Structure 1
Amino acid sequence: MGRTRAAIASALMLPLAACAVKEPTDALSEGTTAGSSVETEDVDPAAGATAVPAPAPATASRDADLSTAQPAEPDLSLDDLAVDLAEDLSLEEKAGQVIVAAHNGPSPPLSLVVEHHLGGIIVMDPDLSTEQLVALNDAVADAADEAGREWPVSIGVDQEGGLVERAKGDLTRFPTFMSLGAADDPDLTRRAAAGSGAELRGAGFTAVFAPTADVTMGPTDPTIGSRSPGSDPELVAEHATAAGLGYLDAGILPVVKHFPGHGSVPADSHVELPVQDRTLDELEANDLVPFVSAVQAGLPAVMVGHLQLTALNSQLPSSLEPEVVEGMLRDDLGFDGLVVTDALNMAAVADRYGPGQASVEALRAGADVVLMPADPLSARDAIVAAVGDGTLDEDRLDEAVARQIAALLEVADEGSVDALEPGGAADVAREVSAAAVTVVQGPCDGPLVDGGVVPMGDRLAVQRFERAAERAGLPLGAGTTVELLRPGQGPHGAQVSVALETPYLLASTGAATKVALYGDTPGAMDALVAVLTGEAEAPGRLPVEVDGVERQGC
């Protein structure tokens, strides 16, 4: 079973990717100009995007030794202020402050943040327009301010790019995080996260539940997949850390997830409690590597997932297990920042615990924010009752409240990239896809299609491809057949196979030419058309192993 948990503390400080600060460059997308197309389906691609100052990029080396690096020292005056603010709250207010509730619909839940003093909300409705998002977020923030709250309300969103993007409207669509593993340019990763974060901040968000630091184990990983940069722990460490720093550049709180690593379990915690059978040695060498990097870089918040670790001989979900939160994360990795649970309404927890019990147990285990309990008010009442009967120490609750307040105050004051209007990050999103597109079979030079093209596959993807072809002047309706593949759709026997998300589907096609695109955004389709016509090279390389292809990339 490997060494005990207590014995891995010193060994976890591994040599990892450095993320040293450099001077800012002139634009989010180097080599691009204002006026490039906006990454939405409803906005004219010629309408323009705003060039903005770039954040300081991360270094590109994975050979640097950070074994002596320490987490950034906290601002003691800010810490003291947060402690004072927390101590001034009533018990009921403290219990509310550690809860972030799920919210759907355009109507702002003002009573939750004013009357019940919840720490904030996570916006879950992908159908809200930009105007509705801004109005919702502004109303919540204004209500908290008018009620006398002296720190930002937590208004968060799952916005990873690709399949996981809750804030839509006119905001820039980014491809999957795996795109950045395929591009393998940490400076670009940091600029992309800064661009996305700057748009989110412009829309009123204060927190983003990203980046994903899980190392995917391949096609048997049902939950993470293209949400991860790849299957190499050091690659994932480098890009997850760079993304977290990019969000900080934008003045938005990043929450690195899902400790201790969800990419190596063959079950989905949304529907059941996954069992992690890896030994502590195996976790140390793989899943924990990106989180070590994040802690060493001083990233302020970590989400703990719902996994059962057999190496600890525990039956508890990791989000409720003190040996994971206080032991592995705080004691072993030295993390003293904000710990957030994964959503407590997920089946991995909710099938065994009510919202109140789960919230109390998460706080007892060392978490500071309980995310999305199914009934946030009953969770609040349970926390109050637990302090009252001694089940939960009030000092532990005070510590959790102070950590959340400090994190929100500090991040809001440290952004170096201005907030952006919707679509303002289009250039850098387009740059990501252009750097990621990967030809794993077929010619590396010149056109990959003969004359026109006949696209087939997913209807929405075909429509986006057709728009990109029209923008590039590529004839449609005759010529080379091109299939756009999603899981469960195809193959269709085309001459060119394109995997839109994870590249594993390329293993099952008989096409002469195979391309991994890692997204279906307008920018991704533009990058694909440019490669198909020979107007651009395909610089990406597979960040995961795929059977049945000739090479990792050109």
Structure 2
Amino acid sequence: MTAHARDGLRESQPICSGRTHTGIVRSMRSRGALSAAVAALLLLPACTRADDGDQAVLTAEALADQSGPRAWAAAPAAGDQDREEPLPIRTGWGPTADEIERARALVADLSLKERAGQVIVARYRGTTAPTRLVNGLHLGGVVVFSDNISSNDQIRGENRALQRSAKAAGRRFPVTISVDQEGGLVERVTGGTRFPAFMTAGAAADPGLTRAAAAASGAELAGLGFTTDFAPDADVTVGAADAAIGSRSASSRPQVVAEHVVASARGYTSRGVVPVLKHFPGHGGLTTDSHLALPVQRRTAAELERTDYVPFRAGIDAGLPAVMVGHVDVRSVDPGMPSSLSTKVITGQLRDRLGFEGLVVTDALDMNAVADRFGSARAAVRALAAGADVLLMPPSPREARDGIVQAVRSGRLSSERLVQAATRQVALLLHQKARGTKPKPPGSGRAVSARWSAAAVTSVAGPCSGRLVGRTVRLTGDPTDVARLRPYLTGAGVTIATAKPKKKAKWPATVVRLLGYGDPAGPGDVVVALDRPYVLGASRARVKLATYGTTPGALSALTGVLLGRQPAPGHLPVPVGGVGRTGC
């Protein structure tokens, strides 16, 4: 359908006529026509207002149905049966045709309320398995944060309890248990191996190591009962002006990001964990953080195709299973509308232009870029109509679920679109279960993490070999970072000066300044960027190094370089002004 035709449809159809719109939506069999029609309907004002008064994180008890959990396999309610031809779900992203058909049958057995719950992945509060929340609202799954974890044994046990509870309630497929575990600044599970920021991949320039690191991380996550990791980050950073992504991106060069995103995702997949590439249509070139407000992307679609889309296209061509859509106002495609709620972005760009057939997950719907304008119900319905399959973290899961149900019953959202979304999710869960996992215990990936960091350490000023510090070192910077590095140096025989000397010493201490995320450049003989490397350009130090992380492996590698025991083989994967070279 042309843009002119879509505009005509919006002008001629009253939004409050559920019967009229049901007929329009169901008469359009092609994916493009259906998507355009649904988008057109939802761009008009809604007839009812959702009550968005719930707090962002609710207790499981408050969200559970008053009648208690219902069986997942309950017969569909009257009127919930789909009588129309289902929307297509193609292969090429993981699930086989047989797994998709099995998923269709399982979703057909769910009631409308259960289908609406199935497409929601919610946050929860506390360290107890949210069984009442998941079973009471029939949720597709949950996302785990650091405040849900007290120990490895605890989260492993609670994840198992959640799966057992859903099965006991009659559910015939697993629960999605997801986590944000990128490495670097974004890590929720801290009781196992710590991995550096993904920019390590671009600096090390070894896709084999990138895959090995992701496989090691995935194995530990699988051992704790996680099914899904919202990683790797497929954003192409523009550099220092990048407000939200920074070291989470592998590089400012699209092809480099693409190569390492595919390698990383294959690493996770090899251990049975679903990787989710994020944040389509690209967040690395934006100067506003979508946690705070809606960022604006002013590149044209053709420009995006040459830059931000490159890693996502590579992942799609590699058959990767899932993509997260961020909250971005793409002015050249759908001005003013967050991409996570935009048919023109999700269906028009991601599905039709790039050819993605797999699972589409929204970024967290409680972020200000969406939450400031849309309530849980409106955002949920718009995202589904736009082509999303999983709704991540609506502020109120209950309101999101009920809003979807009301939209289907009124004809504002087609039942076929909801079924298609739920079927994609269930098909991927069945596929994952059939492939199995290859779990390993927490901490088993430390050697791989250390090798990755050792390959990434970058020297942009000073000698490329030999000892860089004297017998005594004075560490400056954030006290936490100083405390982390001190034992590595003392263990290697270096004396740590505890205070600035009052008079000139015969053997003066080498000042090593550690620069963490957001720290300004300052004086020192050696400066070390522990996260983003851009700060090195403003330093006048004679030696400038970048580690891209504060993990044990990164600090061990840094110690080796400072003492001349190992090289700094990495190269800057991003432009840094004010430095004389990109590496040794």
Fold similarity call, TM over 0.5: yes
Following TM superposition, by how much is the alpha carbon of 1:317 offset from its aligned partner in structure 2, in angstroms? 0.4
For residues 183-235 of structure 1, what are the alpha-carbon distances to aligned partners after superposition, in whole Å with 9 as ceiling and x for unaligned?
Answer: 01101111100100110110110100011000000111110000000100000
The unaligned stretches of length 5 or more in structure 1 are 1-69
1:326-374 superposed Cα distances (whole Å, 9 cap, x missing partner): 1111111111100000000000000000001100100000000000000
3-state DSSP class of the match of 1:468?
Answer: helix
Distance 2:342 2:521 in 1: 44
Q: Say if 2:93 and 2:321, in contact at 8 Å, map to a contact too.
A: no
Asked if structure 2 preserves the Cα contact closer than 8 Å seen for 1:260 and 1:304, the reply is: yes
Verify: 1:474 aligned to 2:474, yes or no.
Answer: no
- Name the residue aligned to 1:504: 534
Normalising by structure 2, we get a TM-score of 0.81
Can you list the C-alpha shifts for 1:33-73, whole angstroms capped at 9, x where unaligned? xxxxxxxxxxxxxxxxxxxxxxxxxxxxxxxxxxxxx9457
Counterparts in 2 of 1:313 and 1:381: CA distance versus 1, 3 Å? closer
Does 1:261 find its partner at 2:282?
yes
Give 1:489's aligned amino acid.
D
- Cross-structure match for 1:58: none
Spell out, residue by residue over 1:398-446, the C-alpha distance to the aligned partner (whole angstroms, 9 max, x if none): 100010011122123335x720111111111111110110001000011
Does the alignment pair 1:524 with 2:554? Answer: yes
Q: Which moved more, 1:97-106 or 1:344-353?
A: 97-106
- The alignment status of 1:542 with 2:564, answered yes or no, reads no
Q: Give, in whole Å, the separation in 1 of the partners of 2:194 and 2:162.
A: 25
Counterpart in the other structure of 1:321: 342
SS at match of 2:137: coil
Q: Which one has the largest radius of gyration?
A: 2
CA distance in 2, matches of 1:73, 1:85: 18
Query: Percentage identity across aligned positions?
Result: 52
Greater alpha carbon shift after TM alignment, 73-82 vs 351-360: 73-82
Note if 1:343 corresponds to 2:394. Answer: no
Structural mapping, 1:93-172, within 5 Å: 93-126=114-147, 128-168=150-190, 170-172=191-193
Contact 1:248 1:414 in 2 (8 A): no
Matched residue of 2:278: which SS?
strand
Deviation (angstroms), 1:447: 0.9
Q: SS of 1:311's equivalent?
A: coil
Partners of 1:361 and 1:99 in 2: CA distance: 14
Which one of 402, 406, 410 corresponds to residue 389 of structure 1?
410
The 3 A distance-change label for structure 1 pair 267 and 533 is same
Retained in 2: the 8 A contact 1:201–1:250? yes
Distance 1:435 1:104, change over 3 A: farther
How far off is 1:470 after superposition? 2.8
Q: 1:124 to 1:74 in 2, by over 3 A?
A: closer
What is the alpha-carbon distance in structure 1 between the residues aligned to residue 491 and residue 123 of structure 2?
Answer: 40
| Counterpart Cα distance in 1 of 2:95 and 2:160 | 29
1:438-485 deviation line (CA, Å, top 9, x unaligned)? 001000011111223211101111111012113333332262110110
Deviation at 1:145, TM superposition (A): 1.6
2:163 and 2:174 in contact (8 A); partners too: yes
CA displacement at 1:492 relative to structure 2:
3.4
* Partners of 1:447 and 1:533 within 8 A in 2: yes
User: Aligned partners of 1:473 and 1:204: how far apart in 2?
Assistant: 41
In terms of mean alpha carbon deviation, does 287-296 or 311-320 score higher? 311-320
Cα deviation, 1:146-175, whole Å, max 9, x if unaligned, reads 11222111000000000001122x211111
Instruction: Name the structure 1 match of 2:57.
Output: none
Give the drift of 1:313.
Answer: 4.3
3-state secondary structure, aligned to 1:447: coil
Q: State the partner residue of 1:439.
A: 459
* In structure 1, C-alpha distance between the alignment counterparts of 2:364 and 2:462, rounded to whole Å: 43
Name the amino acid aligned to 2:541.
A
Partner residue of 1:52? none
For 2:28, the equivalent position in structure 1 comes to: none
Answer yes or no: is the 8 Å Cα contact 1:183–1:435 preserved in 2.
Answer: yes
In structure 2, runs of 5+ residues without a counterpart are 1-90, 498-507
Q: For 1:274, which of 270, 287, 295 is the aligned residue? A: 295
Deviation at 1:132, TM superposition (A): 2.2
Answer whether contact 1:441 1:549 (CA < 8 A) is retained: yes
* 2:223 is aligned with 1:202: yes
Provide the alpha-carbon RMSD of the alignment. 1.4
Partner of 1:19: none
**Structure 1 residue 489: Cα displacement:** 3.0
Q: Aligned partners of 1:376, 1:520: CA distance in 2, in Å?
A: 36
In the alignment, residue 288 of structure 1 is paired with which amino acid? Answer: Y
Aligned AA (2:555) = M
- Residue of 476, 494, 510 corresponding to 1:456: 476
Question: In 1, distance between residues paired with 2:334 and 2:173?
Answer: 40
Distance (whole Å) between structure 1 residues aligned to residue 290 and residue 113 of structure 2: 31
Q: Alpha carbons of 1:147 and 1:488: their partners in 2 closer, same or farther (altered >3 Å)?
A: same
Q: SS where residue 303 of structure 1 aligns?
A: strand
What SS does structure 1 have at the residue aligned with 2:122? strand
CA distance in 2, matches of 1:228, 1:273: 20
Q: In structure 2, do the counterparts of structure 1 residues 385 and 72 end up closer, same or farther at CA, with 3 Å as the change threshold?
A: closer
Q: Distance in 1 between matches of 2:493 and 2:163?
A: 46
- Return the offset for 1:104: 3.3
Partner of 1:425: 445
Tell me if the contact between 1:198 and 1:250 (Cα under 8 Å) persists in the aligned partners. yes
Match of 1:62 in 2: none
- Does the residue aligned with 2:146 lie in a helix, a strand or coil? coil
- Shift of the 332–166 alpha-carbon distance from structure 1 to 2, 3 Å rule, reads same
Distance 1:192 1:277 in 2: 35
Which whole-Å CA distance do the structure 2 matches of 1:543 and 1:490 have between them?
Answer: 21
For 2:99, the equivalent position in structure 1 comes to: 78
